[in-house]
Amino acid sequence: MTEYLRSVSAKAWTAGVVLLFSGVALAQEPMAAAEGETVTQAPGFIDIVYGDSLVNLLIWCLIFLVSISTIALIIDAIISIKRDKLIPDELVDGVRESLNGGDLDAAIESCEANPGSLSNILMAAFANITEGYEVIKEAIGSAGEMENEKLMQRVNYLNLCGQISPMLGLLGTVVGMVRAFGGLAEATGAARATILAMSISTALWTTAIGLIIAVPALVAYTLAKNYATRVVLEIESTTLDLIKVLRTAEVEE
């Protein structure tokens, strides 16, 4: 009886394994057939960039140029808009020490030895030293606005890159869609759907890349603009703090 049960169990197990692999094999055959019918070659890098159109290639060249410019401008903003560079401690200490001693010439020499935004604003204040404190404050405000504009000249190009890159992407998509629908006239049957799908897929890549460029460009522009404005305001307040001693101190000629 035990041997009989073992024999039945072995046969059942063998049959189950055979049925399992048979089912897998049967399931794979229609899948392979289906794949053989529907699988098409995905567009490569050359197909996406060139797309059998010089206009498409020109748009991609502009997109690559904007992307390189965005990276360069972000690096430039990081290097140029730094608090330690715009407000050097040696300049602040030198001017404060000179003005506390009433030596305006020494303060001017410190500014000339450390050129930059702070020294330019200080020089504007020193140029109006005899006109009164209110005039000095107005000169500092005007010089601060000018320095802010200088800092933002190249940063503003980040905004331009962020605005133009999705426009280039949209232009590439429109050109690709026009070519896609135009190509339908040359195809018949099931090939029309394949050509349309491939053409639309290639065309949408320009919009995708344009948005990928635009997002970091606009984020970097906003951060750089806010930081530059904050640093310039700090420069103005530092200048006012440095020259307030002139209201009570005597300056040596």
DSSP 33-92: HHHHHH--PPP-HHHHHTTT-HHHHHHHHHHHHHHHHHHHHHHHHHHHS-HHHHS-HHHH
Q: Which residue has the higher pLDDT, 74 or 140?
A: 74
Going by pLDDT thresholds of 50, 70 and 90, the confidence category of residue 125 is confident
Cα-Cα-Cα-Cα dihedral sign, residues 177, 182, 184, 186: negative
Among candidate residues 175, 209, 205, the one with its CA nearest the CA of residue 70: 209
* Cα 106 to Cα 104: distance, rounded to the nearest angstrom: 5
CA distance 236 to 233: 5
Percent of the chain at pLDDT > 90 equals 17
Distance in angstroms (rounded) separating the CA atoms of residues 140 and 118: 10
Query: Is the CB of residue 235 less than 8 Å from the CB of residue 86?
Result: yes
Let me know the angle formed at the C-alpha of 103 by 100 and 109, rounded to the nearest 5 degrees.
110
What is the per-residue pLDDT for 105?
Answer: 86
Q: What is the mean pLDDT of the chain?
A: 75
**Mean predicted confidence (pLDDT) in 50-60:** 74
